[in-house]
Chain A
Amino acid sequence: MPVINLRVNGNPVSGEVEARTLLVQFLRDNLRLTGTHVGCDTSQCGACVVLMDGKSVKSCTMLAMMADDCDVTTIEGLANGSELHRMQQAFMDNHGLQCGFCTPGMIMSALDIVERNGNDLDEATIRRELTGNICRCTGYHNIVKAVKAGAKAMGD
């Protein structure tokens, strides 16, 4: 079987994969990083979003082999010990989740939004940028508030 080498949350990892292994399967099944969720498996919901070389991608729509040699960041890579990342903290403070299933993808997408749009985000921008992330619970209102607050906190 082919072998891949990449960095996940800063740590070098390698593993044998079938060519058809999806990146999300490699993260969840091989590395046991189950924070990245599979909501739809049809590229629609964004629960599986991770950062690859700093950019948001749907890990259910990418082969693990395509991440060979890349830097992947998952939700597990954000907190510093027990201290949450500012975007995670903002989701907690603003009640930006209910069941939490969509949250890892929302937060990883939010980091990509901040990277491209800066720390001062208006509501319309956040809503447009979150078109690829579906939440069944919250009605999005508090998610939008959380992303705005988290973006601001990341700039402080």
Chain B
Amino acid sequence: MYDFSYHNPDSVAGAVSAMNKAEDGKFVAGGQTMLPTMKHRLASPSDIIVLGGIAELSGITVDGDSISIGAMTTHAEVAASSDVQAMIPALAALAANIGDPAVRNCGTIGGSVANNDPAADYPAAVIALGATVKTSKREISADDFFTGMFETALEEDELITAISFPKADAAAYMKFENPASRYAIVGVFVAKTGDDVRVGITGATPCAHRGMRLEGVLNSNFSGDALESVEIPVDKMNADIHASAEYRAHLVKVMTRRAVAACS
């Protein structure tokens, strides 16, 4: 990797100001995506602004019926949090199955959501639970946040500070994982609150998205059998050495069925 200037600010304002002064700056959270990317020279930033020294970005707080998770909270911390386990157990279970223990000890929720890898786990939960992404500038709703492959609504100098998840009555995440990396070949997060069902799908297409057709049938009949009639458009699916488009389309239904079963 090429050399860069290193910044270690202790506040969100300091991080944003370092970014604005940099020619081609990049934030680094856990580095679990950023460092491999830099080693491959797919990114060669002039300045690295690490977020690990900013205390206000860490920690989990319960606020009535929602739980707010600081951007720098690691996957291991989310998995082990008794508050997350009590309020949204499916979210703790999702975090516990990201990558491997060493990745979970470093990787953060903010980094995962900002990166928006098409096969990342958290985006499915953010979408299905209707979470709010809090940034250094504003609050962005889940439906507006993920805009394309590795693309989000974030501006260059905008920092995720926390993500707030409302509690669901029932929720479950099922992923068909790549056995080598544990990334999702297809992952489906189903959340049910009252009569409202939301489905977040990752891995299947270039960008995590809501499963509107699946929600349509599940809203009137919350059962695996109701899914039979739903057509998953094969031409929108990713295809690679791990799984064909047809296989992914099939997996979307299978994972949804399993998630619905785990909710009921």
Task: Determine the chain A residues whose CB is within 8 A of the CB of B14 once the complex forms.
Answer: none
* A105-137 contact mask (Cβ, 8 Å, vs B): 1 or 0: 000010011001000000000000101110000
Determine how close the nearest CB of chain B comes to the CB of A47; give it in whole angstroms: 11
Among B4, B52, B101, B106, contact of A20 (Cβ-Cβ < 8 Å) = B4
Determine if A46 and B48 form an interchain contact, defined as CB atoms under 8 angstroms apart. no
Of A62-70, A83-91, A92-100, A143-151, the segment with at least 4 beta carbons within 8 Å of chain B is A62-70
Determine if B48 and A56 form an interchain contact, defined as CB atoms under 8 angstroms apart. no
Question: A8: CB under 8 A from chain B?
Answer: no
Question: B1: CB under 8 A from chain A?
Answer: yes
Q: Interface residues of B, CB < 8 Å — how many?
A: 27
Determine if B6 and A132 form an interchain contact, defined as CB atoms under 8 angstroms apart. no
Among A2, A41, A57, contact of B102 (Cβ-Cβ < 8 Å) = A57
Determine if A20 and B3 form an interchain contact, defined as CB atoms under 8 angstroms apart. yes
Q: How many angstroms from the CA of A63 to the CA of B101 in the assembled complex?
A: 18
Among B5, B105, B182, contact of A19 (Cβ-Cβ < 8 Å) = B5
Contacts A57-B106, A61-B35, A62-B106; A129 near B3 (Cβ below 8 A): no
Question: B100: CB under 8 A from chain A?
Answer: yes
Among A55, A65, A129, A132, contact of B8 (Cβ-Cβ < 8 Å) = A65
Determine if A62 and B48 form an interchain contact, defined as CB atoms under 8 angstroms apart. no
Q: How many angstroms from the CA of A66 to the CA of B105 in the assembled complex?
A: 14
Which residues of chain B from 47 to 106 have any CB-CB distance to chain A below 8 Å in the complex?
48, 50, 52, 76, 99-103, 105-106
Chain A contacts to B: CB under 8 angstroms: 2, 18-20, 22, 41-44, 46, 49, 55-58, 61-63, 65-66, 68, 109, 112-113, 116, 129, 131-133
23 contacting pairs across A/B (C-beta < 8 A): A18-B3, A19-B3, A19-B6, A20-B1, A20-B4, A22-B35, A42-B39, A46-B100, A46-B102, A55-B76, A56-B101, A58-B102, A62-B106, A63-B31, A65-B50, A66-B52, A109-B101, A112-B105, A129-B101, A131-B182, A132-B100, A132-B102, A132-B103
